[in-house]
Copies of this chain bind each other. A is one copy, B any other.
Amino acid sequence: MLQYNLGTGEYKNWIVSEVAFNPHALGKCEAIMALGNGYMGLRSATEESYVGQVRNLFVAGTFNQFDEYEVTELPNAPDVVELDIWLNGEKFSLEKGKIIHYRRDLNVKDAELVRHIIWENTRGEQFELTFRRFVSLKNLHLIGMKMEIRPLNCDADVHITSGINGQMTNSGAQHFHEGEKRIFDKKYLQLIQTTTESKIDFVVNAVHRYMIDGKEVETEPRMAIDRRKVFIQVSFHVKKGEAFTFEKLANVYTSRDKAYDHDAYSLDVMRQEALNDLKEEAKKGYDALFSENVSEWKKRWEQMNITIESENEFDQLAIRFAHYHLIIMTPAHDARFGVAAKGLTGEGYKGHSFWDTEIFILPFFTYTFPHIARSLLEYRYNTIEGARRKARANGYEGAMYPWESAFTGDEVTPVWGAVDIVTGKATKIWSGFIEQHITSDIAFAVWQYYKVTGDEDFMKRCGYEMLFDTATFWASRLEWNEEKKQYHINDVIGPDEYKEHVNNNAFTNYMAHWNIETAIRYYERLKESDPALLDALHEKIGVHEAYKKWKEKVDLIYLPQPREEDLVIPQDDTYLTKQIIDLTKYKKQTRVGTIFEDYNLEQVNNIQVSKQADIMVLFYLLENKFSQEVKRANWNYYEPKTLHDSSLSLSTHCILASDMDDRELAYQLFEQASRIDLGPNMKSSDHGMHTASIGGVWQSVVCGFGGVRMLDGKLRIHPKLPKQWRKLSFPIYWRGDRLEVTVTHESLVVKKVTNVCDAVTFDVFGTTYEVKDEVTIPLA
């Protein structure tokens, strides 16, 4: 059971609490309370083990392919968290004895996981246990753990087994060779493992420290090496009322780390440096190391903090929770890695990057940490050769980005999924073959980043090439329809994945058109401003000929128009002709995908039902191509047919509702969206966090209620505060300047706190304002 209001004082609305232990919903807190720093993500499995627990430690970018039948995925690294704890001969487990007090807090401000328990064993002996844990944002390799045990009404013989366990798998797939196990000086444990296919070396070290009432005690541990495992066993006698403290520090280095991924790499050097690092850190101890972590987080909070004054205090926590996860999911330290669809919090989606990054997550970084946004876009640039290989393999030109992307940019979408209830076989997943809009989504994100930041340097190094080569892909992808004399895009999946093999998905066609149109515009602009760059790009990707093709085709692309009778834009060529059924049963469900318990995908394909926002996303991205009337008409048609079976759906609908000025509905949708992971559905996050939804929460606040949008290169702020909120403050960065925006029902205050540009201009409901220091604009 989760509670959101237990933070007090400086931690008010900073704490997510689990107040009762539920052995049947372990996955929930494992995922939502996960720790991380973008370098690695540590799922918050408890120290003691339970059936159904999923221990995960992922290091960004360390992909490995188990075999030729599976796609590459982030391997589950050796576990350092598990402790086997015996108290007076009884194994500590919350499934036995009596829980007198239980609380587990994720403190998103300090990024610490704290569990406090008073437990009575079956003989009536009581123990107070406190577990603390963090993954350092200061030293990205470091994991800190601290356990305090205090016997309350007895003396205690405490016996602990602790070590490094490399028996972990990804649901059975083992990604590592067994490796070398070692104990140095009877103190430092080391496990070195190498991935089986990508041959990435992992060095994992651990060291322990023991205190009684704060005074360090020495002990000679029993040492053991087992299959894929190295560990120690220690025993202590603790008197009634004394506090026994057990500290464990661990670190992880891999040969994919930028510092080691070079020709002169030596495992011997890395293992030595990793061990030395741990030895140095160990001198400081948990508390000092944790302080360093808190300081680092403080800097992030200063840059990104959003204040919401709401009648539901949960809203304030929800945006902070989103912020927290946006930081821990993102490998900001290395432009070779993307954000995974489940972050680093679960095995779901295998650590792959989807359009989730560009359309749902990136806006937060573009507006808040532009250098991280750049890094994420550079990831797409760094993987563009994979996109080119995909295009060539499919008979196209240019860069065709993969639906799912790992380290190289080659397509890594798995081919088989859940059961088909009619055939009894696994269902084929077509996204890797025909869900193609990702390519224009990335182009759009490049453009958005460019217009918001003005980062011409990035554009010259990467951006223009990406814009042009994605346009070239689309130009080659278009299919000429002789009858209609139009270019069509047939046999695709749009954002709505319940419609496979459709022709002319509106989102796909409009975005492809936008992509080519935008490429033409920038080609022509560069022709004037920087012909040398254009020539260099021509050298590389033949951009002059490409331009001709863009021009030739762009105006002939079929863009589905609103129907005359009701202004509904057909989602694709056949959607509107399909069967309409009563969807009430599935809309009511808290679980997603329940429609597949009655229909298989082929059948769902023939029903007017949508998994998620499709045309709505188009309205959001290309806002000023569509009138309010058209938006409203399509909302009325598609919203009832949308199951929101994708976590990408609700936040988009929230923003759209806000755009249509339906603030009450927008707020309702925000409440739903912010509870996808954080809410009471105890199963929703089992396979990991919904990172796009988390990005969507930020977008709902800033782009929805805050009304921030970049339109045609210009900043627009149309605040639509819901009635439940008194005040909303958020920062955005515009062309290098930090703006601090405060919205109330009465006014919009924009403060410019830096001086990169002289002034920033922006639109508020049709009026242009300029801010040099601060400007207050009355609303209503």
Contacts and interface: CB of A to CB of B under 8 A. Distances in A.
Contacts of A24: 91
A179 B597 CA distance: 24
B91 A222 contact: no
A70 interface: yes
Given A184-B424, A424-B183, A223 B419 contact: yes
Interface stretch (A127-135, A167-175, A574-582, A623-631): A167-175
A355 to B, nearest CB: 24
A209 interface: no
Contacts of A93: 51, 95
Nearest to A23: B91
A418 B183 CA distance: 12
28 contacts: A23-B91, A24-B91, A51-B93, A67-B177, A69-B178, A93-B95, A166-B172, A168-B172, A169-B174, A171-B226, A171-B227, A172-B178, A172-B227, A173-B174, A173-B178, A174-B174, A180-B426, A181-B419, A181-B425, A182-B424, A182-B425, A182-B426, A183-B425, A186-B424, A223-B424, A224-B419, A225-B419, A225-B426
A24 B48 CA distance: 14
B419 A171 contact: no
A235 interface: no
A101 interface: no
Given A167-B169, A174-B172, A177-B67, A597 B226 contact: no
Given A51-B50, A95-B95, A597 B174 contact: no
A227 B687 CA distance: 12
A185 interface: yes
A230 B426 CA distance: 10
A228 B166 contact: no
A5 interface: no
Given A67-B178, A95-B96, 13 more contacts: A23-B91, A66-B174, A69-B177, A69-B178, A166-B172, A169-B169, A169-B172, A173-B227, A183-B419, A224-B418, A225-B417, A225-B418, A230-B419
A525 to B, nearest CB: 49
A389 to B, nearest CB: 25
Contact of A222 (B49, B168, B171, B597): B597
Nearest to A24: B91
Nearest to A48: B51
Contacts of A476: none
A83 interface: no
A421 interface: yes
A181 B426 contact: yes
A184 B225 CA distance: 45
A196 interface: yes
Nearest to A231: B419
Nearest to A427: B225
A170 to B, nearest CB: 8
Nearest to A69: B177
A153 B313 CA distance: 46
Contacts of A52: 49
Contact of A226 (B184, B196, B418): B418
Interface in A375-431: 417-419, 421, 424-426
Interface string A152-195: 00000000000000111101111001101111111000000000
Contacts of A171: 167, 226-228
A329 B52 CA distance: 32
Interface in A84-105: 91, 93, 95-96
With most chain B CB atoms within 10 A of its CB, the pick from A67, A417, A424 is A424
Nearest to A172: B167
Contacts of A424: 182-186, 223
Contacts of A227: 171-173
A285 to B, nearest CB: 23
A183 B167 CA distance: 30
With most chain B CB atoms within 10 A of its CB, the pick from A166, A180, A417, A421 is A421
A196 B91 contact: no
